[in-house]
Amino acid sequence: MDKEAFEKMSLLSVTNINKHFGGLHAVRDVSFSVTKGMIKSIIGPNGAGKTTLFNLLSGEIRPDSGQVQFDGKKIYRLPPYRIATLGISRTYQTTRLFDHMTVLENVMTGAHLMGRAGFFACALKLPWTFSEETAINKKAVELLEVFDLLEFADEVAGELAFGIKRRVEFARACASSPKLLFLDEPAAGLNIYETIELSRLIPVIRDRGLTLLLVEHDMSMVMDLSDEILVLNEGARLVEGLPREIQKNTDVIRVYLGDEQC
Amino acid sequence: MKRIYFPVLVLVMAIVLLQLLILVLDMNFLLTQITMSLYYTIVIVGLCMLMGYAGQISMGHAGFFAIGAYTQAFLVTVNLGPADISGFPGFLKSAGLLIARSTPSGEILSFSPWIAFVAVIIITVFFALDLGIPILRLKGHYLAMATLAFGIMIYTFVLAVDFLGMADGIAGIPPFQMFPGIALSGDMSARIPNYYIAAVVLIIVVTVAVNIINSRVGRALKAIHGNQLAAESLGINASRYKLGIFVFSAVTAAVAGAMLAHYNGSIGPSEATINKSVRFVSLVAVGGMDSIWGVVGMGFCLQFISLRGVFGSFDEAFFALILVITMLFLPRGIIRVEYFKSLVAWIRRLLKK
């Protein structure tokens, strides 16, 4: 495949991205790309720089150097809300819901980018804002249905069980109709039933036309779901490939289990 | 849709009933302090939007109140020359932009209150943007300190500047002829119309606030309050929304200040003190921060009791005390919808037995 066609296929391409925290080189020269419509996972031992890489790509931390191209646009060093506007959404390792708002309001906030109404229009409730609100509400209700959350719609998000909070966060992230969704350890803190439910939901999200980038420790889930896996170790790219290749790769086994095991 | 405006309707009815009650009891003298309380409630509603909904504190809102009051007072009392002036000022006078008023030293020209009112809004927006753009990056204690410093600056300024009357402030502010037959003034015979002028402005501000709360912008503000990083990851431009609501709350404070200056006929530096800012913050806290109806109710009642002089010399100390007590025992405020809901549920359980 020539380079141009490849660029067209890849939704996100990261080239030689770097981040230092003081003396620590947290992410070193990492390059990879994500193809439209796939589920790609990033794995690696603790401290490998997975979450840092996510934060660099979503704009929460600014990279020191590198190139990031998303959907044909450079997103390197843009502020987080601009990156979100272009179509990247994310969830967090520890859920970050708006605790004092209801589940429905949380998901409606996710659909913020569907609307245009500013202070002036909202203050006067100009007639055209009504149809916008109705559309946002409809979208939110639809997502609550997809994630089986309708019964919790009017509950205050902060008072829900952890597994449900995570589903709300998913619904909220999907509500912004992103092209690319980052999931940061979606199975962390979930029990076995919730994890099974999650493994069912992730392909559902993908089938809605989203591309997924996943950081996860639950290996069986990663191997089942991923189309491609990127392995990081000590901030650098170790290998990249199909799940079955990664499972057999001696380098990967070494960094996870130590030298003696090989 | 109807659900969100129901409390507004209740407020309108409460305002009318209060006036009728006072009329029946023949206690019209109370209306003066009630009207002043309504103006202060407008400030508190604006601050409630900033603090309760957007989660950004301002310890310097008396500063914006003073900017409004002093700008209005200065422009409507400034001496622009004798009243029979010709040429360009004469043209402005015939256009209604300047008006003549009589002083002990003869007739002079000053700005029309409407012109002053527009100037108040422009100047307040200018100040709020200038202050808000740099300091709204700050969070928590740091934002409180920066806004506190702003309040002190305004207080020191009005106390030190000659043309603002220094410690005496500006007195002899003429009535504000808003529309033919309706004048905003402290005239004893016009207590009832003035009560309704203040009430209408309060209702407008509250309705705008309710509209914002129940909208896309309101959700964005609440989201920023809840978790700014998560809000930004959804495409919400947090600094723009914070600035927007900061300007809104500053303008409401300034508008209330400008109108109260006309109502009282004078404005002094005591309205710009830190004590006043602390009072506004404590009234928002007592009302429950993110419960606009609690804030309107508690803010109005406590402000009225304070103006009646019930707390005597301990006035300011009392407001500081209720701030401490609220934070300790009722951090979510004294009036909340949830409390009524649980009260109703409790009564239902009693009736079933």
- Domain edges within chain A: 1-87+178-262, 99-175
Q: What residues in A contact B233, CB-CB < 8 Å?
A: 58, 60, 80-81, 84, 89-90
**At B101, is the secondary structure helix, strand, or coil?**
strand
Mean pLDDT of all residues in B222-251 = 92
The partner residue sitting opposite A124, judged by closest CB among B211, B222, B227, is B211
Least confident of A105-109, B161-165, B278-282: B161-165
Higher pLDDT, B28 or A169: A169
Q: Do A84 and B223 touch (CB under 8 A)?
A: no
Closest CA relative to residue A230, chosen from A213, A250, A209: A213
The partner residue sitting opposite B234, judged by closest CB among A100, A112, A119, is A112
Count of domains for chain B = 1
Whether B178 shows a pLDDT value over 70: the answer reads: yes
The partner residue sitting opposite B220, judged by closest CB among A99, A109, A124, is A109
Q: Do B234 and A119 touch (CB under 8 A)?
A: no
Percent of chain B with pLDDT over 70: 96
Higher pLDDT, B55 or B94: B55
Percent of chain A with pLDDT over 70: 95
Angle at B137 between CA B159 and CA A168, to 5 degrees: 135
Residues found in chain B: 353
Report the relative pairing of strands A180-184 and A211-215 from DSSP bridges.
parallel
Whether A95 shows a pLDDT value over 90: the answer reads: no
The partner residue sitting opposite A60, judged by closest CB among B229, B236, B248, is B229
Whether A5 shows a pLDDT value over 70: the answer reads: no
pLDDT score, position B315 = 82
pLDDT score, position A8 = 59
The Cα diameter of chain B in Å comes to 84
**At B85, is the secondary structure helix, strand, or coil?**
coil
Nearest CA distance, A144 vs chain B (angstrom): 17
pLDDT score, position A81 = 92
A3 pLDDT band, cuts 50/70/90, is: low
Q: Do A80 and B217 touch (CB under 8 A)?
A: no
Q: How many CB pairs under 8 A join A and B?
A: 101
- So what's the ipTM on this one? 0.88
Q: Which residues contact B9 (CB under 8 A, 6 or more apart)?
A: none
pLDDT score, position B236 = 92
Whether A41 shows a pLDDT value over 80: the answer reads: yes
Tell whether B224 lies on the interface with A, counting CB pairs under 8 A.
Answer: no
Nearest CA distance, B9 vs chain A (angstrom): 17
Mean pLDDT of all residues in B173-179 = 84
Q: Write the burial class of residue B287 (CB in 10 Å: 0-12 exposed, 13-18 middle, 19+ buried).
A: buried
Whether B334 shows a pLDDT value over 70: the answer reads: no
Residue pLDDT, tens place only, B121-130: 999 999 999 9
Residue pLDDT, tens place only, B37-92: 999 999 999 999 999 899 898 999 999 999 999 999 999 888 777 767 777 777 77
pLDDT score, position A259 = 65
Q: Do A84 and B227 touch (CB under 8 A)?
A: no
Chain B residue at shortest CA distance from A177: B234
Mean pLDDT of all residues in A170-181 = 91
* CATH architecture type of domain A1-87+178-262: 3-Layer(aba) Sandwich (3.40)
Whether A172 shows a pLDDT value over 80: the answer reads: yes
Whether A23 shows a pLDDT value over 90: the answer reads: no
pLDDT score, position B108 = 80
Strand order in the sheet with A65-70: A24-35, A10-21, A65-70, A73-74
The partner residue sitting opposite B211, judged by closest CB among A84, A85, A123, is A123
Nearest CA distance, B334 vs chain A (angstrom): 18
The partner residue sitting opposite A58, judged by closest CB among B212, B233, B245, is B233
Report the relative pairing of strands A10-21 and A88-90 from DSSP bridges.
unpaired
pLDDT score, position A7 = 55
Whether B26 shows a pLDDT value over 50: the answer reads: yes
Mean pLDDT of all residues in A210-237 = 88
Whether B105 shows a pLDDT value over 80: the answer reads: no
Whether B200 shows a pLDDT value over 60: the answer reads: yes
State the pTM of this model. 0.89
Tell whether B51 lies on the interface with A, counting CB pairs under 8 A.
Answer: no
The partner residue sitting opposite A81, judged by closest CB among B217, B236, B245, is B236
pLDDT score, position B181 = 78
Q: How far from B289 is each of A61, B44, B84, B107, B221, CA to CA, in Å? A: 32, 10, 53, 48, 14
* Rounded Cα–Cα distance for residues A164 and B146 (Å): 39
Q: Do A85 and B225 touch (CB under 8 A)?
A: no
CB atoms within 10 A of CB B10: 11
Tell whether B101 lies on the interface with A, counting CB pairs under 8 A.
Answer: no
A1 pLDDT band, cuts 50/70/90, is: very low
pLDDT score, position A6 = 56
Strand order in the sheet with A39-43: A88-90, A180-184, A211-215, A39-43, A228-233, A236-241
Most A-contacting residue of B125, B216, B228 (CB-CB within 10 A), to test interface: B216
Least confident of B93-97, B141-145, B293-297: B93-97
pLDDT score, position B341 = 76
Tell whether B332 lies on the interface with A, counting CB pairs under 8 A.
Answer: no
Report the relative pairing of strands A236-241 and B98-103 from DSSP bridges.
unpaired
Whether A113 shows a pLDDT value over 80: the answer reads: yes
Secondary structure element (H or E) that encloses residue B184, with its range = strand B182-184
Q: Do B234 and A109 touch (CB under 8 A)?
A: yes
Chain A residue at shortest CA distance from B55: A100
Mean pLDDT score of chain A, rounded to an integer?
A: 87
Domain of B273? 2-352
Q: What residues in A contact B218, CB-CB < 8 Å?
A: 122
